[in-house]
A and B are shown apart, each in its own frame.
Chain A
Amino acid sequence: MVFQRSQIEEAANHIRAAWKPNPRVGIVLGSGLGSSVESMDVEVEFEYGDLPHFPRSTAIGHRGRLLAGELAGLPVIAMQGRFHLYEGYTPQQVAFPVRVMRGLGADLLIVCNAAGGLHSTYAAGDIMVIDNHINMMFQNPLIGINDDRLGPRFPDMSSPYDPALIQQAMGIACEHDFTCHRGVYIGMLGPNYETRAEYRFLRRFGGHVVGMSTVTEVLAAVHAGMRVLGLSMIANVATPDNLVATSGAEVVAVADRAANKVATIIHGIISQFGAELQERAGH
């Protein structure tokens, strides 16, 4: 893993050459949620293919570019389209952009996804703030020799998702009058959707939603010492006792409709973070 640090530096330098500000926040947008950063004042756009060591995004509903600019008054960097294990990337590759965001100075990561609801009170289009996750991907981006400059060998996972950010996000949803749950995200390898038996298992073992991303990036972010906020957009609700087929296109369609809720939370969180930073600077 030691060689990876030079790759992080190379990618970060490439971005710095075109865009000077130090981003305070990194954002990873999920399936169909690309429009959640429409209010961002984009200064520079990078195609993943142009960035050194970046894999290319092959998933549907993912656009494959890195946006650098200002959102709610803070310099931010946002991934429109992410990498997934099911695409055949290694977990190190999947987590690489998060490492680069950290390398550029981001200390807050907002990570979004489209997920399948397991909890019977969830509805398609609802938002869930991720309180915790279960890694059922059988993979981990931290496997290998640990580079102590990037983070500790055994990162603590007692609260990977920042409790204060969870509260803030719930508050923002409340203020804007839309349903927002707080629950557990289960990360699966995919790419097939789950069987009824698998849904029942995941539900019984404490999952509220299930998806094929996020956990890998969050593990790297926690390892790198970032504060994390995770947002799941419920694309559909699994009803294993009366299961109907799920399609990728349907997931993307629901995500399109719910993207504004995600946008509202992202905007609110960054505004509050900006205010915190100003307050800290003022003291």
Chain B
Amino acid sequence: MLDLYDKIETAAAKIRESFPTPLHAGIILGTGLGGLADQIDVKASFNYEEIPNFPESTALSHRGRLVCGTLEDLPVVAMEGRFHQYEGYSLQQITLPVRVMKALGAELLIVSQAVGGMNPYYDSGDVMIIDDHINMMGDNPLVGVNDDRLGPRFPDMCAPYDAKLIEKGLEIARQQNFAAHKGVVVAVTGPNLETRAEYRFLRAIGADVVGMSTVPEVIVAVHCGMRVFGVSVITDMCLPDALEPADVEKIIAIAGAAEPKLRALVTGVLAYEAAKPR
């Protein structure tokens, strides 16, 4: 893990060449949620293969582009497309972009993902502000010799998601008149969707939604001292007693249709951040 520091610096240096402004926030856009990037006043953009040490995005409906610019007058970078454990990447590789965002000055990580809803009171197309998570990926991005320059050996996880921003997110949804839940996401490796028995198990251990990303990035963000705002977009309902085969095209369509809600939450949270006294 000790060579990680240099990898982060090399990648950050490449981005700084075209976009030297210190960042306020890094944004990760999940499956079908890339549209938000259009709202950024773009100053520079990179395909992932142009950034040293970045893996290449292979997942469906993920573009693989880092967009740098301003949103709500705050300097941000947004990842259109992310990396997943199921693509065969190590969790260290998956989370490298978060460390690069931190190195570029970001103190806030905004992370979004498409998930399956297990809480029966949720609906397909709803959004959930992430209150907490359960890591069932069987791995952890912090395994290895700890580099104390990056963060502590045993990071605390009592509140990985910023409580003020959770409240702010719920408030934005109320004001804009759409349903936003507050709940727990469980992360699994994938890539297969869960069996009915697995959904029952994951629901029983306390999760409201299930996804194949986000948790590694959040663990790393907490490790390096960033605040986190997480949004799950429920793209299909996974109710084990009435389970229908998942249709990836449909999931992406629902993500696209729900994307304006994500956009409202992200821009609203950034506007709140911009208005905060420094």
Task: Please report A residues at the B interface, Cβ cutoff 8 Å.
Answer: 58-60, 85-88, 138, 189-198, 200-201, 204-205, 243-248, 251
B153 touches A60 (CB 8 A): yes
Among A194, A197, A205, A243, the one with the most B-chain Cβ atoms within 10 Å of its Cβ is: A197
* 10 CB < 8 A contacts A-B: A58-B145, A88-B1, A138-B139, A189-B138, A195-B132, A196-B132, A197-B134, A201-B134, A245-B158, A246-B154
Q: How far is the CA of A17 from the CA of B133 in the complex (A)?
A: 51
Given known pairs A189-B140, A193-B158, the reply for A204 and B146 (CB within 8 Å) is: no
Check if B244 is an interface residue, CB within 8 A of chain A.
Answer: no
A191 touches B158 (CB 8 A): no
Given known pairs A197-B132, A197-B133, the reply for A192 and B155 (CB within 8 Å) is: yes
B134 touches A195 (CB 8 A): yes
Q: How far is the CA of A230 from the CA of B86 in the complex (A)?
A: 36
Q: How far is the CA of A252 from the CA of B160 in the complex (A)?
A: 23
B140 touches A192 (CB 8 A): yes
Q: How far is the CA of A201 from the CA of B201 in the complex (A)?
A: 11
Pick the residue among B139, B157, B205 that contacts A194 (CB under 8 A). Answer: B157
Q: How far is the CA of A189 from the CA of B223 in the complex (A)?
A: 16
Q: How far is the CA of A246 from the CA of B153 in the complex (A)?
A: 12
Do most interface residues of chain B lie in helix, strand or loop, or is the interface mixed? loop
Extra inter-chain contacts (5) besides given A87-B143, A88-B145, A244-B158, CB under 8 Å: A192-B156, A193-B157, A201-B206, A247-B154, A247-B156
A190 touches B140 (CB 8 A): yes
Among A59, A193, A195, the one with the most B-chain Cβ atoms within 10 Å of its Cβ is: A195
Pick the residue among B138, B160, B206 that contacts A200 (CB under 8 A). Answer: B206
Enumerate chain A residues within 8 angstroms of B28, measured Cβ to Cβ.
Answer: none
A192 touches B146 (CB 8 A): no
Check if B59 is an interface residue, CB within 8 A of chain A.
Answer: no
Enumerate chain B residues within 8 angstroms of A200, measured Cβ to Cβ.
Answer: 206
Q: How far is the CA of A85 from the CA of B184 in the complex (A)?
A: 26
B206 touches A191 (CB 8 A): no
Enumerate chain A residues within 8 angstroms of B153, measured Cβ to Cβ.
Answer: 59-60, 191, 248
A195 touches B158 (CB 8 A): yes
Pick the residue among A88, A138, A196 that contacts B138 (CB under 8 A). Answer: A138
Enumerate chain A residues within 8 angstroms of B160, measured Cβ to Cβ.
Answer: 195
Q: Which residue of B lies closest to A196 (CB)?
A: B132
Task: Please report B residues at the A interface, Cβ cutoff 8 Å.
Answer: 1, 132-135, 138-140, 142-146, 152-160, 184, 205-207, 219, 222-223
Closest 5 CB pairs of A and B: A138-B138, A88-B144, A243-B158, A197-B132, A201-B205
Given known pairs A197-B133, A198-B134, A200-B206, the reply for A191 and B142 (CB within 8 Å) is: yes
Pick the residue among A197, A247, A251 that contacts B206 (CB under 8 A). Answer: A197
Q: How far is the CA of A205 from the CA of B204 in the complex (A)?
A: 10
Enumerate chain A residues within 8 angstroms of B184, measured Cβ to Cβ.
Answer: 197
Enumerate chain B residues within 8 angstroms of A205, measured Cβ to Cβ.
Answer: 205
Among B132, B159, B207, the one with the most A-chain Cβ atoms within 10 Å of its Cβ is: B132
Enumerate chain A residues within 8 angstroms of B132, measured Cβ to Cβ.
Answer: 195-197
Q: Which residue of B lies closest to A58 (CB)?
A: B145
Pick the residue among A59, A192, A251 that contacts B219 (CB under 8 A). Answer: A192
Enumerate chain B residues within 8 angstroms of A197, measured Cβ to Cβ.
Answer: 132-134, 184, 206-207
Q: How far is the CA of A204 from the CA of B201 in the complex (A)?
A: 12
Q: How far is the CA of A85 from the CA of B142 in the complex (A)?
A: 11
B223 touches A86 (CB 8 A): no
A88 touches B143 (CB 8 A): yes
Q: Which residue of A lies closest to B219 (CB)?
A: A192
Among A59, A88, A196, the one with the most B-chain Cβ atoms within 10 Å of its Cβ is: A196
Q: How far is the CA of A86 from the CA of B142 in the complex (A)?
A: 7
A85 touches B143 (CB 8 A): yes
Among B143, B145, B154, B223, the one with the most A-chain Cβ atoms within 10 Å of its Cβ is: B154
Given known pairs A87-B145, A88-B145, A204-B206, the reply for A193 and B155 (CB within 8 Å) is: yes
Enumerate chain B residues within 8 angstroms of A192, measured Cβ to Cβ.
Answer: 140, 142, 154-157, 219, 222-223
